[in-house]
Amino acid sequence: MVSVANVGAMPVWRDSRAIALLLAATLTVMANAAISPALPGLQRSFAGDPNAAMLTRMLVTAPSLSIALLAPLAGLAVDRFGRRRLLLAGVMLFVLAGSAGLFLPDLPTIFVSRIVLGVAVALIMTAQTALIGDYFTGEARSALTGLQISARNLGGLLFILLAGWVAAISPRFAFAVYALPLLLLPLMWKVIVEPGRALARQEGAPARGAGELPAWHLLLAGLVFLQALTNMFFFIMPTQLPFYLDTQGYDSAIMTGVTLSVLMLTGGCLALLYSRIQRAIGYAGVFALGYAAMAAGFLLLILQQDSVLVLAGAAFIGAGYAVVSPTFVGLTLSLAPPQRRGLAGGVLTASVFIGQFCSPLLSTPMILGFGYDGLFLGVAVLLASMVAVAMIGGAMRRRLASPLRTGG
């Protein structure tokens, strides 16, 4: 096994374990979104089911619900039974449950398979997050958390395009895309090894109960809340943007596809630079920059006069989210003791999907009461206040740290 110290000096892209973990990261967006292009065809295929309209739409969100409910339990299992074993089990379950729609006889059983798919994603995401913390430290860990967001965005875009292509032949064929992770299993089996029990000592971490950060769980709770809030804002784009564009006179299907592609591509590209940005401005600066970009994006949606400003707004929102998201993972891995990284990763994973689930539930009443402009303006104001809090927090931390540097 390569030691943690040596890994920190090795470029991440040269580490085969990093490549395997990034390939696993591509599956998380794929779980929900890859089925989207097939939904109209599936609804027509099961037109005899009186609940076809509702069930076909729920096929997209079903994995999110089970991930939100089960990710903390998956994290406990990862800590108890080992990262490698449950990561590989999660990928195999992903293949079985995801591709089951190829042959299952009706929509209710396909819906159940989507629930099981969420269990697989919960195992993959929690084990992957814990392994990033176990294998990598410092600059390498920071770089990998940024690359993880890029892998999710760019991989999700690739799988959506592929699913759309095969769904044009038959809507059932979209489920075949979920069998592709079989190609990843040999690499994962070979390079993912269970971290040794001495890992905490290698990282210089104290033994359990001997000087752990006493309030790490409280700090984690704050990060979990903030990440849920961030994802709730971000998910306004895929859930409400199509309807907003329709009210503005655009061809909503085409414009939504283009806008969300810009959102994912911008985020995926900017996340590649995350480690450099974080090193230059620190965590507080990253939060301030990311939330400022998201606020600017929502303001551009209000001010839009043509499609260029809509795309610019999406680009700002995607960029801001890509800058902020890796910070949650990096801070969580720094806070949680090594033997609790699975649980911490599970809780953090659940917060992502809780935010996604709550987004339309809270944003729709806002639209009914204040319109789309009122929603976008309210979100922009809240994000601007989060920028101010981040800047004040960063200034206070620098002020407290300066006497320590000078010996005061």
Residues 221 and 173 in one domain: no
Residues 237 and 188 in one domain: no
For residue 356, the enclosing domain spans 212-408
Residue at 207 is within a domain: no
Residue at 391 is within a domain: yes
Residues 74 and 171 in one domain: yes
Residue at 202 is within a domain: no
Which pTM value belongs to this model?
0.77
Residue at 12 is within a domain: yes
pLDDT at 12: 65
Q: Is the dihedral of CA 153, 154, 158, 161 positive or negative?
A: positive
pLDDT at 406: 47
Integer CA distances (angstroms), 224 to 72, 132, 217, 218, in order: 12, 18, 10, 10
Residue at 16 is within a domain: yes
Rg (CA), the chain: 21
Residues 142 and 252 in one domain: no
Number of domains in the chain: 2
Residue at 206 is within a domain: no
Residues 59 and 168 in one domain: yes
Residue at 26 is within a domain: yes
Residues 328 and 190 in one domain: no
CATH number, residue 378: 1.20.1250.20
Residue at 203 is within a domain: no
> What is the Cα–Cα distance from 402 to 408, expressed in whole angstroms?
8
360-391 burial code (b ≥16 CB/10 A, e <16): beebeebbeeeebeebbbebbebbbebbeebb
Q: What is the pLDDT along the chain (408 residues), one digit of tens a residue?
A: 444 434 444 566 678 888 899 888 888 877 777 777 777 788 888 888 888 877 877 787 788 888 888 888 988 888 888 889 999 999 999 999 999 999 998 889 999 999 999 999 999 988 988 898 888 888 888 888 888 888 887 887 788 778 778 877 888 888 988 999 999 899 999 999 888 644 444 444 444 444 444 577 788 888 999 999 999 999 888 878 877 887 877 765 677 778 878 888 888 888 888 888 888 888 889 999 999 999 999 999 988 667 888 899 999 999 999 999 989 988 888 888 877 888 888 888 889 888 888 888 888 899 899 999 999 999 999 999 999 998 887 777 766 655 545 454
> Which of 166, 195, 224 is where one domain is finished?
195
**137 is written with which tokens?**
């430290």
Residues 40 and 105 in one domain: yes
Are 84 and 17 in contact by the 8 Å Cβ rule? The answer is no
Q: Which helix (H) or strand (E) holds 228?
A: helix 216-234
Residues 182 and 222 in one domain: no
Residues 187 and 100 in one domain: yes
Residues 115 and 245 in one domain: no
pLDDT at 398: 66
> Which of 195, 220, 236 is where one domain is finished?
195
Residues 182 and 300 in one domain: no
Residues 160 and 232 in one domain: no
pLDDT at 40: 75
**12 is written with which tokens?**
């991440």
> Which of 145, 169, 195 is where one domain is finished?
195
311-330 burial code (b ≥16 CB/10 A, e <16): bbbbbbbbbbbbbbbbbbbb
